[in-house]
Amino acid sequence: MIILTFRPVHGESPVSVRGAYFRICADCTLRGPDNAIAASYDKGLWQLGRRQHRSFECSGRFDLRVMHRDGSNQLTGPYEFVKAIDGALFTHTDYLGAFALPPSDIKPMEVWREVAFLPTAKDDIPVRPVRQ
């Protein structure tokens, strides 16, 4: 089970969503297993229901499957924590990559086409950071 915790813009309580997996699509929507839109990203904010959130975090053991612009896929992980903020994904210590153009003037080298948060299939492998 994947759990995402959204951090609100204003002083409201965080909101958690659960699903077998989630993916950030090329149109900056976050979709679950049923392909329904759970949230959408625009201009640095996630719209979840009627509320805006600055970021979301995924914690627990999980993998990321990244689809690059050329259509190739890369499975990385396992991870214990990833934060999605300003169009990019970060661990506690590392930048992983971008899923959207950031609201700032800084442009990433590549914007991924899709990112999936998946239950880890590698329970016996220790968590490690991604090397770019």
Query: What is the DSSP-derived secondary structure letter of residue 27?
Result: T
46-53, Cβ contacts within 8 angstroms, sequence gap of 24 or more: 46/6, 46/84, 48/6, 48/15, 48/17, 49/15, 51/8, 51/12, 51/15, 52/8, 52/9, 53/6, 53/7, 53/8, 53/9, 53/15
Of residues 126 and 102, more confidently modeled:
102
Its pTM stands at 0.85
| Number of domains within the chain | 1
What's the mean per-residue pLDDT of the chain?
Answer: 88
Does residue 31 lie within any of the structural domains?
Answer: yes
- For residue 45, give its domain range: 2-119
pLDDT exceeds cutoff 90 at 40: yes
**pLDDT at residue 110, as a whole number:** 78
Does residue 37 lie within any of the structural domains?
Answer: yes
| Residue carrying structure tokens 């016996």 | 124
Q: Please state, in angstroms and rounded to a whole number, the distance separating the CA atoms of residues 118 and 95.
A: 19
Does residue 88 lie within any of the structural domains?
Answer: yes
Query: What is the DSSP-derived secondary structure letter of residue 111?
Result: B
Report residue 111's pLDDT band, with 50, 70 and 90 as the boundaries: confident
Does residue 125 lie within any of the structural domains?
Answer: no
Does residue 99 lie within any of the structural domains?
Answer: yes
Reading the block at residue 65, the tokens are 């499957």
Does residue 130 lie within any of the structural domains?
Answer: no
Does residue 18 lie within any of the structural domains?
Answer: yes
Does residue 129 lie within any of the structural domains?
Answer: no
pLDDT exceeds cutoff 50 at 132: no
